[in-house]
Amino acid sequence: MTNTVAAWLAAVIVAAVLADLVLNGGRVLFFLALEFVDLLDWAAFWR
């Protein structure tokens, strides 16, 4: 991955986070965090 691609990817992620915070009050980020915790629990089960 080149520096240019990494910078664009970081900018897109930051823009998505800011859009979620402004438009939804961070609800999508909270939902994704909860789903990630569930994924970690599921992965720990298979370990």
The amino acid sitting at 25 is G
Per-residue pLDDT reduced to its tens digit, 8-45: 999 999 999 999 999 999 999 999 999 999 999 999 87
Total domains in the fold of the chain: 1
Q: What pLDDT sits at residue 46?
A: 73
Q: What pLDDT sits at residue 45?
A: 78
Q: What pLDDT sits at residue 7?
A: 97
The amino acid sitting at 40 is L
Domain that holds residue 18: 3-45
- The answer to whether 17 and 29 are in contact (CB under 8 A) is yes
Q: What pLDDT sits at residue 44?
A: 87
Predicted confidence (pLDDT) at residue 47 exceeds the cutoff of 80: no
What is the C-alpha to C-alpha distance for residues 40 and 38, in angstroms, rounded to an integer? 5
Residues contacting 18, CB < 8 A, separation 6+: none
What is the C-alpha to C-alpha distance for residues 36 and 44, in angstroms, rounded to an integer? 12
What is the C-alpha to C-alpha distance for residues 29 and 37, in angstroms, rounded to an integer? 12
